[in-house]
Structure formats: C-alpha cells, structure tokens
Chain A
Amino acid sequence: KNQVEQSPQSLIILEGKNCTLQCNYTVSPFSNLRWYKQDTGRGPVSLTIMTFSENTKSNGRYTATLDADTKQSSLHITASQLSDSASYICVVSAYSSASKIIFGSGTRLSIRP
C-alpha cells in the first residue's frame, strides 16, 4: 500500500534553534519527493523537489535529504524563525500512474520566541 508517514506529528522549538522533520514512504515506483510548507489557513507552498538521483537539496535555511534505498527523507531547518511556524508536508509521487500522488499528514512546527 502506498503510504507516506511523517514524524513527529508536532514539534515545538525555540527561535534560533535547528530542527529536523522526518518522512518515510512506501510509494512505488518512486518518481519524486516534495516538501511543502502550509501556513494556517493557506494553501501549501513548495519548498523542495527531489528525484531519485538527488540526495540533498537546499532552499535557503531549508535542506532536504533523500535516501531512496531506505525510502526516507528529512527536512532540516536551520536557525528557525517565528515565520517558520507552519505545517510541513511530505509528498511522494509514483512514476507509473498519474493518480499516485500521496501526501503525508504533516508535521506541525511551532517556533516559540
């Protein structure tokens, strides 16, 4: 069964600290993995997209890693800011079928001053 699981469900850290969010997937055959940021009451916004051959991709203070062998991805946030408070959603697409775009349930990140 195609699944995307994220951990932790929620996370609270102090402003300025780093954190890492995890994503494990069983979607096959793998096409790409994306991380989205969703602010409360708004639509998701793309942070990174990685294909099978990419291990790391950065977008400012966000760095995503991908291990296609273990089917794991992480999103590392450096020097967190209050504006980083949001839900972070991992999305995995399968290559063979247009219908297989699987969303994780997200990690709710709260940054405290």
Chain B
Amino acid sequence: DTAVSQTPKYLVTQMGNDKSIKCEQNLGHDTMYWYKQDSKKFLKIMFSYNNKELIINETVPNRFSPKSPDKAHLNLHINSLELGDSAVYFCASSQDFGRARIDTQYFGPGTRLTVL
C-alpha cells in the first residue's frame, strides 16, 4: 500500500534529452509537490499543485514543467536536460496546504536522475 509512489526510481540519460518522472498518491490529498535534493542534501521545493492549480513555482528553469492530469498525479517533465539537473527528485503530497498550514507532507521514495 504505497502512499506516494514515483517512477522510475533511477534515470540515467544524456544531456539534451527530454525525460519525465511520474508521481502518484493514493492518500486522497489535495496538494502535491516536487522537490529537488542536490548533492549537498538540501531539499528545495520546485512546484506544488492544489486542485490542479499551480500555487508554488520557485525559480526553476522553464525546462521543468509539472503536469497534473488529476488530483492523484503530478508528473515532472524536463526538457533539454543539463548536467546540473543531476539530483534526487522527491514527490510529496499533503492534505490541506494553505489554511491551517500544519499539514504533514508524505514523501515518495525519490527518483535519482543522472545526466551524462
């Protein structure tokens, strides 16, 4: 009963390619997120979606585009991959982002992206 799942777990690709990472949550949560964890282990939020609306968009390159076909899915598409995109990408979800702000975020297992 995986709460937040991501595919693939590992992704190795060449510079310049386009790739997607998929995320699904079966918790019935309203909000989903994408985070990037760099080599120094800092987690930085990239995007979040609430009711299919983008509510956070940190200063990430426009090569990154989140796509949410429904409330349970938030996929991350990356165009023209660069070496600096190599990192672990985590998907997360939470029940109620914005009002009480005491929502717990549940994280997926991560996708390790390596750009050669």
Contact = CB atoms under 8 A, between A and B. Distances in A.
B107 A98 contact: no
Nearest to A47: B104
A89 B56 CA distance: 21
Contacts of A103: 42-44
Interface stretch (B64-72, B74-82, B95-103): B95-103
Interface residues of A, number: 21
Interface in A7-56: 31-32, 34, 41-46, 49, 51
A44 B105 CA distance: 9
Chain A contact surface mostly: strand
A93 interface: yes
B50 to A, nearest CB: 9
Given A42-B110, A98-B48, A105 B42 contact: yes
Contacts of A44: 43, 90, 105, 107
B108 A43 contact: yes
Interface of B: 4, 40-45, 48, 55-58, 90, 92, 97-98, 101-102, 104-110
18 contacts: A32-B102, A41-B110, A43-B92, A43-B108, A43-B109, A43-B110, A44-B43, A44-B90, A44-B105, A45-B107, A46-B105, A49-B104, A98-B55, A98-B56, A101-B45, A103-B42, A103-B44, A105-B41
